[in-house]
Amino acid sequence: MNIGEGLKYRFQLCLASNHTVISHPRTTQVHFFQPMQLISSLTIALLALAATIAVGAAPAPTPVPAIPGLTCIVDSHGFGLNLVNDGGSTIDKGGPPGEGTGVIVDSGPNSQINQEWSLIPQGSNFLIANGLNSSLFLSYPALPFGGGNPDFAGVVVYSRYPANFSFQAVSGGIRIVEVVSGTALTSWSGPVTLARIGTVPASQQTWTFVAAPI
């Protein structure tokens, strides 16, 4: 077959009762199919397509509890994430009162405003701002100096150096992960640090969100 004939070559499919006629300029062939064979072939093709789509689909993002207003962030022992309200001694003189203040866990949740937080979406991640001052964000000491290694670093608040966190569903609650380092918010039943996942018991990195009492 030359190029001209190749361009003219075509197939015409005609479904009539239980046979298919396949024709082209030189030959005509008749192929017989049972109706159930056609239906079965179509069903298998559709199932294969559905399976391919399901395998290639991206996992759904971790759902975040829809809690309006301020939120208490509570560890596995029932202690609430708490900004130390010490009057606001600051290590960054350009920041607001409270800049650089440490974060601990304390009995809670309760109605103290420094133990309540706002979850502020940043794409698929979140900033976590304190209720005492909404310009103070959960962070860690090395972040103003380029990040460094925050593993086992104490958690603080900064206005100009907020850390971004992702929320991962785990057994019993949510793991709060700093997205740059991959370290997770970790409770020591007093101090709060960031720590690599798997280096401490999972319960220390498991949190729940509770609507603030006020």
Window from 14-23, 67-76, 119-128, 153-162 with minimum mean pLDDT: 14-23
Range of the domain at 194: 71-211
* Mean pLDDT score, 153-178: 94
For residue 65, tell me if it sits in a domain: no
DSSP 198: T
- Using 50, 70 and 90 to split pLDDT, how confident is the model at 85? low
Q: Are 125 and 179 in contact (CB under 8 A)?
A: yes
pLDDT higher for 153 or 149?
A: 153
Structure tokens at 85: 């309200």
Q: Is the pLDDT of residue 52 over 90?
A: no
* Mean pLDDT score, 120-144: 90
Q: Is 58 helix (H, G, I), strand (E, B) or coil?
A: coil
- How far, in Å, CA of 208 to CA of 72, rounded? 8
Question: How many domains is the chain partitioned into structurally?
Answer: 2
For residue 63, tell me if it sits in a domain: no
Q: Decide: pTM greater than 0.85.
A: no
State whether 100 and 40 are in the same domain. Answer: no
Alpha helix (H) ranges present in the chain? 3-8, 35-56
For residue 204, tell me if it sits in a domain: yes
Which residue has tokens 């918010």?
A: 185
State whether 75 and 24 are in the same domain. Answer: no
Most confident of 55-59, 133-137, 198-202: 198-202
State whether 87 and 11 are in the same domain. Answer: no
Q: Is 122 helix (H, G, I), strand (E, B) or coil?
A: strand
State whether 75 and 45 are in the same domain. Answer: no
Structure tokens at 65: 């509890």
State whether 79 and 16 are in the same domain. Answer: no
* Mean pLDDT score, 119-127: 94
Q: Is the pLDDT of residue 167 over 50?
A: yes
Q: Which of 190, 189, 159, 187 is nearest to 173 (CA)?
A: 187
- Using 50, 70 and 90 to split pLDDT, how confident is the model at 143? confident
State whether 166 and 136 are in the same domain. Answer: yes
Q: Is the pLDDT of residue 43 over 50?
A: no
- How far, in Å, CA of 46 to CA of 52, rounded? 10
Domain edge (last residue) among 27, 56, 85: 56
Specify the CATH number for the domain of residue 191.
2.80.10.50
What are 95-113's pLDDT values in tens digits?
667 788 899 998 766 678 8
